[in-house]
A and B are shown apart, each in its own frame.
Chain A
Amino acid sequence: MSEDYKVADISLAEFGRKEIDIAQHEMPGLMAIRDKYAAEQPLKDVRIMGSLHMTIQTAVLIETLVALGAKVRWCSCNIFSTQDHAAAAIAATGVPVFAWKGESLEEYWWCTERALNFGDGQGPELIVDDGGDATLLIHKGYQLENGDRSFVDSEGGSLEEGVIKDLLKNLNEKQPQRWHGVVADWHGVSEETTTGVHRLYQMVEAGELLIPAINVNDSVTKSKFDNLYGCRESLLDGIKRATDVMIAGKVGVVCGYGDVGKGCAQALKGMGAQVIVSEVDPICALQATMEGFRVMPVEDSLGIGDIYVTTTGNKDIITPRSHAWHERSGHRL
């Protein structure tokens, strides 16, 4: 039998473990929960699947769930977000992890399916989701098994949607009751992010949600910290590692001024950039002006902006060609 995990390089486990040890010192909340509940084992033998960026910090979350008694399987919720040494360190402890940095879309959804598969037809009893991809796969699979082919047979959609549809159709041929079996044992999902929570409320509205869900994003200690102060530090970390560009003196354009946008705008300002904000919500737009930011549609910033950051959770914010700009500048499209 092959190993029940797939990571980039299991020999990175030792390095991963060193960084997990360091991270634990900076994660007092998780460590306190371990101390408080380890004896009681509130998650004893509970099958938990996670679809959440497989980073060093997530490794500390996984080991907390394990310390509370859970049987855990994990995948990332983004093709680029895995830290390979973190994945290796967790796989080395015997927790099945399916994640590596730079997955293809096919591999990504393969990983999600593998993490959802506890063997013998069993799925998870609880899910930790980030963005709602695990929840989506189960719900769409369940719909298909009910004879509703509207999603899998729909035309158009993104490349990624095509990959999901193919996966579901393949699974349906081989195991036509797979997802009904999973849903029978599934007791809930806790969702990490704004976009995933948005999807959940839409499912409730449509009467489609199959399990209770906890909106973790809207705990004050989540969205007013992670989304805001987290992005305030990690946005520039990403831009700097990618480009080494000098931020001071540049014009940053932040699309969306919610929790994430506020953190991004502050970070750019803090390092000496001028900041322009685009918003659709007059309250958030007014907030941006009170912080001293210019507010304008993104088209109006063309020719001025040096660094563009989208933070809206919405689609089609930046397009290859901007109609408004071409109209104003008189250029032909």
Chain B
Amino acid sequence: MRGMKDQAIVCNIGHFDNEIQMEALDESDAVKTNIKPQVDKYTFPGGNEIFMLAEGRLVNLGCATGHPSFVMSNSFANQTLAQIDLWKNKGKYENKVYLLSKELDEEVARLHLEKIGAKLTVLSKEQADYIGVDVTGPFKPAHYRY
């Protein structure tokens, strides 16, 4: 950070605050000035100043309000289906990490299309047979990467 341009802005959007060495910065010879909540200026002895956002914690949730609702509806639909799945299958799963099925993944996407005015094309039986999928999906093999 010492070598950064004067007035550079530094932030993290990864989950934990260890991507930027905050403890080391706070113990360094840089002088910290609070500008407002979640915005601090650090001045290095040479005079260089940098701005640190949200104390190195995820900036989109620390300095703003996180993602918009529409995208979180996708994430949280998955969360809700996962909770239902865990409860329905309690006692059946091993202590391992599982993924939700591709059927549920496609279902979550489907639930969001109408709202934004997207209309799906429907496969004919002949087309479905030709590419080797069911007319109602899943439309991709497990190894497909999107």
CA of A302 to CA of B3 in the docked complex: distance in angstroms?
6
Within 8 A of B (CB), among A302-333: 302-322, 325-326, 329, 331
Nearest chain A CB to B38 CB, angstrom units: 6
Residue of B nearest to A48 (CB): B83
**A200 → chain B closest CB, angstroms:** 5
B111 interfacial by beta-carbon distance below 8 Å: yes
- What are the interface flags for A230-263 relative to B under an 8 Å C-beta threshold, 1 for contact and 0 otherwise? 1101110111111101000000000110001000
- A220's contact among B2, B111, B146, by CB below 8 Å, is which? B146
Q: B75 at the A/B interface (Cβ < 8 Å)?
A: yes
Interchain CA distance A319-B11 in the complex, whole Å: 12
Known: A57-B72, A126-B86. A81 touches B66 (CB 8 A): yes
In the bound complex, do residue A194 and residue B60 qualify as a contact, i.e. CB atoms below 8 Å apart?
A: no
* Most chain B CB inside 10 Å of its own CB: which residue of A60, A81, A195, A325: A81
Main secondary structure of the interface of B (DSSP, over half): mixed
CB B55 to nearest CB in A, in angstroms, measures: 8
Please tell me if the beta carbons of B21 and A320 are within 8 angstroms of each other in the complex.
Answer: yes
Complex-state Cα separation, A58 to B76, whole angstroms: 8
Chain B residues within an 8 Å CB radius of A264? 13
A307 to B12, CA, bound (A): 11
Select which of B59, B76, B90, B104 is within 8 A of A235 by beta carbon.
B59
Give Cα A238 to B59, complex, Å: 6
Which of A46, A53, A128, A196 is in CB contact (< 8 Å) with B61? A53
What size tier do the contact residues of chain A reach? 35 or more
- Indicate if A176 sits at the interface (CB-CB under 8 A): no
Whether A219 lies near B83 (C-beta < 8 A) is no
What is the bound-complex CA distance between A30 and B82, given in angstroms? 13
**Is A266's CB within 8 Å of the partner chain B?**
no
Encode contact with B along A20-37: 1 for CB under 8 Å, 0 otherwise: 000100111110110001
Distance, CA A306 to CA B49, complexed state (A): 12
| Contact of A221 with B5 at beta-carbon distance under 8 Å, contacts A216-B82, A238-B62, A314-B19 already known | no
What B residues does A70 contact at CB under 8 A? 83
Which B14-71 residues have C-beta < 8 A from chain A? 14-16, 18-21, 23-25, 28, 30, 37-39, 51, 53-55, 57-71
A–B pairs, 10, beta carbons within 8 Å: A29-B74, A57-B69, A68-B84, A80-B38, A212-B94, A221-B109, A222-B74, A226-B72, A307-B8, A331-B3
Residues on B lying within 8 angstroms of A by beta carbon are 1-5, 7-16, 18-21, 23-25, 28, 30, 37-39, 51, 53-55, 57-91, 93-100, 104-105, 108-109, 111-112, 114-115, 146
Besides A64-B80, A222-B78, 17 new A-B residue pairs in contact (Cβ under 8 A), listed by A number: A43-B84, A80-B57, A190-B83, A213-B97, A215-B97, A220-B109, A225-B71, A230-B68, A234-B60, A240-B64, A242-B38, A308-B9, A308-B11, A310-B12, A311-B13, A318-B19, A321-B28
Q: Which residues on A are within 8 Å of B, measured CB to CB?
A: 23, 26-30, 32-33, 37, 42-43, 46, 48, 53, 55-58, 60-61, 64-65, 68, 70, 78-81, 83, 102, 125-126, 128, 131, 158-159, 187-190, 192-197, 200-201, 204, 209-216, 218-222, 224-226, 229-231, 233-235, 237-243, 245, 255-256, 260, 264, 299, 302-322, 325-326, 329, 331
